[in-house]
Amino acid sequence: MKSKILASAVATLFVVAGATPVSAEVVITQKAKKFDKKKISIKKGESVKFVNADSIAHNIHSRSSNGKFDLGVSKPGTSTSKVFDKAGKFKVRCAIHPKMKITVKVN
Ligand SMILES: [Cu+2]
């Protein structure tokens, strides 16, 4: 009986830990002047890490009306991160290579 209560308490602890807002991070890789995904869907408050696995520089930015941002130049082998704290659709591009596009949907 006692062990059953203990097991239940442990299970409850796990549930509580799972509910704790841990800011998740989605990793997107840029290679051959392309993002490895065309669309991603994340939750408000989560961040996206843009890894530059290319041999050239990239510059992540967005001119979306619901939140403009510019992460600046990311040299080869480096990465830049962006926390999306507003819901909406963000069209993210590279300022150096206009054909590089990814849509970030923040729920
Ligand atoms: Cu680029």
- Go through 60-77 and write b for each residue having 16 or more CB atoms within 10 A of its CB, e for each that does not: bbbebeeeeeebeebeee
Compute the distance between CA of residue 10 and CA of residue 37 in angstroms, rounded to an integer: 38
| Domains of the chain in sequence order | 23-106 (2.60.40.420)
User: How far, in Å, is the centroid of ligand 1 from the Cα of 26?
Assistant: 19
Residue type, 73: V
Predicted TM-score of the model (pTM)? 0.78
User: How far, in Å, is the centroid of ligand 1 from the Cα of 72?
Assistant: 11
pLDDT in tens, the chain (107 residues): 555 655 555 454 455 555 555 668 999 999 999 999 999 999 999 999 999 999 999 999 999 998 999 999 999 999 999 999 999 999 999 999 999 999 999 99
User: How far, in Å, is the centroid of ligand 1 from the Cα of 95?
Assistant: 6
